[in-house]
């Protein structure tokens, strides 16, 4: 029963904290597996069979959540060193993305300051949902939040800006949305962004550098 209660506790903890990615439920599945393993000692054949089948289901859930991380399905082990090489040749840097990666974990490993206020811009993801018509119930005030937050960060004149290419992944946008293009159409952002020039790619992301006129 202790294993069963632990499984329930970790499940509730993930839900209450809105930690709803599959890997956040790994502790709950693991304790459920142990609970079911204990049930296989039951004297009732039917209970043992049900427990074994449920253990297979729990194992499959854990496999699907954990194996992509072990196999580096998103190729981060290759991409992060490339990004760090570029970052460490810069004075400081910023990431424009609706996804926490690559601000996290490069901000932990880089030898240069990260000038962002957070790992990602969730407001910009919501703007994408609104602009594409996928969710018209979103309050349009989110546009102001997205612009003001990004302009505040860009006003710090980061030497390097790393820009996400895929603005659909984290928010679940089903149609094309270019967050950088949307930002650049906003006058306050454009005034700052006109001082940045493309500087190639690294780790699958677009790079932009601050020009001399922007730094002065």
CB atoms within 10 A of CB 124: 27
CA 182 to the chain's CA centroid: 20
Which candidate, 23, 28, 25, places its Cα nearest to that of 9?
Answer: 28
Task: Give 133: exposed, middle or buried? Use CB within 10 Å, 0-12, 13-18, 19+.
Answer: exposed
pLDDT tens for 71-122 read: 887 788 999 999 999 999 999 999 999 888 999 999 999 999 999 998 888 8
> pLDDT > 70: what percent of the chain?
97
pTM: 0.79
Which candidate, 92, 150, 149, 97, places its Cα nearest to that of 125?
Answer: 97
- Confidence label for 215 from pLDDT (cuts 50, 70 and 90): low
Two tokens, residue 128: 């994408």
> pLDDT > 90: what percent of the chain?
58
């Amino acid at each position: 029963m202790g294993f069963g209660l632990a499984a329930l506790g970790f499940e509730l903890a993930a839900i209450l904290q809105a930690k709803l990615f599959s890997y956040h439920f790994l502790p709950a599945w693991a304790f459920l597996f142990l609970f079911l393993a204990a049930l296989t000692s039951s004297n009732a054949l039917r209970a043992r069979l049900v427990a074994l089948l449920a253990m297979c289901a729990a194992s499959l859930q854990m496999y699907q959540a954990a194996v992509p991380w072990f196999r580096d399905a998103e190729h981060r082990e290759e991409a992060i060193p490339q990004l760090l090489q570029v970052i460490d040749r810069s004075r400081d840097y910023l990431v424009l993305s609706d996804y926490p990666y690559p601000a996290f974990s490069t901000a932990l490993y880089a030898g240069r300051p990260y000038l962002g206020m957070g790992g990602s811009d969730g407001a910009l993801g919501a703007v994408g949902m609104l602009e594409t018509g996928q969710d018209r119930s979103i309050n349009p005030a989110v546009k102001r939040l997205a612009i003001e937050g990004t302009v505040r960060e860009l006003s710090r004149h980061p030497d390097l800006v790393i820009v996400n290419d895929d603005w659909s992944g984290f928010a679940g946008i089903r149609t094309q949305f270019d967050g950088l293009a949307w930002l650049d159409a906003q006058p306050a952002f454009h005034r700052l962004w006109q001082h940045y020039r493309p500087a190639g790619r690294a780790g699958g992301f677009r790079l932009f550098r601050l020009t001399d006129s922007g730094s002065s």
